[in-house]
Structure 1
Amino acid sequence: MTEYREADFSRLKTVPVAKRPNKVDASLLARPPQSSDRSFTAFLDALPAILAAQDLRYVVDQIVAAAGKRAIVAMLGGHVIKVGLGPLLIALMERRAITAIAMNGSAAIHDFELAAFGGTSEDVAAGLGDGTFGMAEETGREMNAALARGANAQQGAGEALSEYLSARKELPGREVSVLLASRASGVPVTVHAALGAEIIHQHPTADGAAIGATSHRDFKRLAGILPDLDGGGVVLNLGSAVLMPEVFLKALTVARNLNGGRPKNFTACDCDMQRHYRPRVNVVERPTLAGGRGIQLTGHHEILFPMIAWAVLAKLGK
């Protein structure tokens, strides 16, 4: 027969609640809207001073503190542009609350199409069925021409694409293009290709040598930007689950190799709709082991990033 033993709860030692440290008290709780102030700043201040809400405030404060003083690097996945956040990125660039943009090829394509044609984002499932997905003639022809020209001129991909767009006669999306804004504001933009992963690579005019040369130059340029994160800068990974975290990690080790271990003591924040291994390890954790702080904020891009951008712009506007 099996013998069962039970713990004797009558012997348990309890402690007075007054002696127990509490992590939550009434001063940290959320507040409802007040009729006297319904501004965005009031909304932000009314969030609970707990967990992700407090992390959000911290990231905002670090960006505001770094604006105009240290590097603030925004790394972009394609969805960030596709869901309409370009105008907010541009506003931050104009206030030097973003000092460099590093985007994957998908983000560059969406931005280029918005600028040149006024629209982007096709129905992938429908096009895949008959083999027309990604086969837009003008997108592939023009972007590949820009990259070929850029390779010959010893340019990076971001510089080549922004220069091409600036010379284009018809630009229905001029005001919402991050590529064009980078040229106008003097904020460097780099584009990091993954060969075979972007629709312009399946176009008849695709030139692997030009794509590789311009993207590799932009890798060098990103590595040249990162030392300015040292001592208070901010890097934001916005919606890139694999490519930009991998590029950032390698660019960071190049920067530290060439600059005596710098940059250190910066804020690294990953913002995405779900949490992934590479952004957590390659952006948030490993780069800040030598100093600084890493944060993950999780939510839909079209909701989360506007909160960050509006909060930063509100504080800078004071």
Structure 2
Amino acid sequence: MKDPFKPLDYSKLTTYSIKGRHSKVDIKDFSTPWEKGNRFSAFLDTLPSILAGNDLCCVINAISCAAKNKKQVCFAMGGHVIKTGMSPIIIDLMKKNIFTLLSMNGSGIIHDLEIAMVGRTSEDVAQSLGNGSFGMAKETSNLLNQAIKNAKNKSIGLGKAVGDMILKENLTYKHLSLTAEGCALNIPVTVHVAIGTDIIHMHPDFDAAACGAASHYDFKLFASQITDLEKGVFINAGSAVIMPEVFLKAVTLVRNLGSTLDDFTTINLDFIRHYRPMTNVVNRPTLGKGKGYSLVGHHEILIPLIAAGVIESL
């Protein structure tokens, strides 16, 4: 039986010369091989000017330009950044007057305190959850809940209260504490808590009202720094929900109050792309003159890489 369907005849297909075609990839943008003995700055020059290779260099350039021009470079983070050993890198950038604001979610102060206190953090949740001992470290709870009470008594933010306490207690590894170094360097450190998410909220001496008030104070302090973000940089590292939401509210708040906030750079760093960081950090706030970047990778590689690039360029 004859096939009733006819194959497409494309013998008269229209073609063009590749020589006149616009192409998105050009050999002038290719990477170059590494030469033994070169400096780190030369390594950046070897990266391809394509996709993330180009974005990494743009991110380094944006942070460097903001620092050179004494503009805000705000670093927001989740607790995982501390757990990947990044505190010395962040503190160094604070000391070099590159980072002008440090913000974190509630887990940040837990890991920050434990590092300052005993030089170790991050319990084995799978091992301790079954017997109900997860989150029951008494020293962590006692000190942080005392810091919350101090914040209430002194009418200060939670970040400063924790940093002040670490310095007052003269904890062994206070030089590795982000909150303590923030206090010592007079750089604002803000903490943004969601009640019920952190281990100290399970302890009977936790004062939710005082914690909420201290965290709200920090939100207002955070927003005051975002007021000056024009021509600056906002970085979100490893916070999938809290810090992107806080940032978005601060942006609309300061714009509502009349601050100019049109031309700035946002950067999201994480090992996967999440919805809120992409929409609330990278895309929505930068509509217009701004520019948003998303670099996917591990904190323990991306953050030192970017820091080294910035330091070399300065």
- For normalisation by structure 2, the TM-score amounts to 0.96
**Which residue pairs with 2:154 in the alignment?**
153
**Which residue pairs with 1:298 in the alignment?**
296
Instruction: State the SS of the aligned residue for 2:222.
Output: helix
* One-letter amino acid of the structure 1 residue matched with residue 58 of structure 2: Y
How far the C-alpha of 1:100 sits from its partner, in A, is: 0.1
The answer for unaligned runs of 5 or more in structure 1 is none
Instruction: State the SS of the aligned residue for 2:284.
Output: helix
Distance, in Å, in 1 between the alignment partners of 2:62 and 2:19 is 35
* One-letter amino acid of the structure 2 residue matched with residue 206 of structure 1: F
How far the C-alpha of 1:46 sits from its partner, in A, is: 0.7
- For normalisation by structure 1, the TM-score amounts to 0.95
Distance 1:36-1:302 versus aligned 2 partners, 3 A rule: closer
% identical equivalent positions: 46
Distance, in Å, in 1 between the alignment partners of 2:14 and 2:311 is 53
CA contact (8 A) 1:229 1:264 kept: no
Distance, in Å, in 1 between the alignment partners of 2:296 and 2:264 is 20
Bigger CA drift: 251-260 or 85-94?
251-260
**Which residue pairs with 2:130 in the alignment?**
129
How far the C-alpha of 1:36 sits from its partner, in A, is: 4.7
**Which residue pairs with 1:276 in the alignment?**
274
Distance, in Å, in 2 between the alignment partners of 1:228 and 1:8 is 63
**Which residue pairs with 1:311 in the alignment?**
309
**Which residue pairs with 1:8 in the alignment?**
9
How far the C-alpha of 1:6 sits from its partner, in A, is: 3.1
Instruction: State the SS of the aligned residue for 2:102.
Output: strand
Q: Tell whether 2:204 aligns with 1:204.
A: yes
Distance, in Å, in 1 between the alignment partners of 2:32 and 2:20 is 27
Distance, in Å, in 2 between the alignment partners of 1:73 and 1:4 is 64
How far the C-alpha of 1:61 sits from its partner, in A, is: 0.3
Query: What is the correspondence of 1:65-214 to structure 2 with a 5 Å cutoff?
Result: 65-67=65-67, 69-169=70-170, 171-214=171-214
* One-letter amino acid of the structure 2 residue matched with residue 265 of structure 1: D
**Which residue pairs with 2:225 in the alignment?**
225
CA contact (8 A) 1:82 1:107 kept: no
How far the C-alpha of 1:11 sits from its partner, in A, is: 1.1
Q: Tell whether 2:264 aligns with 1:266.
A: yes
How far the C-alpha of 1:2 sits from its partner, in A, is: 8.1
Distance, in Å, in 1 between the alignment partners of 2:107 and 2:70 is 30
Instruction: State the SS of the aligned residue for 1:152.
Output: helix
Distance 1:10-1:183 versus aligned 2 partners, 3 A rule: same
* One-letter amino acid of the structure 1 residue matched with residue 51 of structure 2: L
Query: What is the correspondence of 1:235-246 to structure 2 with a 5 Å cutoff?
Result: 235-246=234-245
Instruction: State the SS of the aligned residue for 1:9.
Output: coil
CA contact (8 A) 1:237 1:271 kept: yes
Distance, in Å, in 1 between the alignment partners of 2:4 and 2:263 is 58
Aligned residues: 312
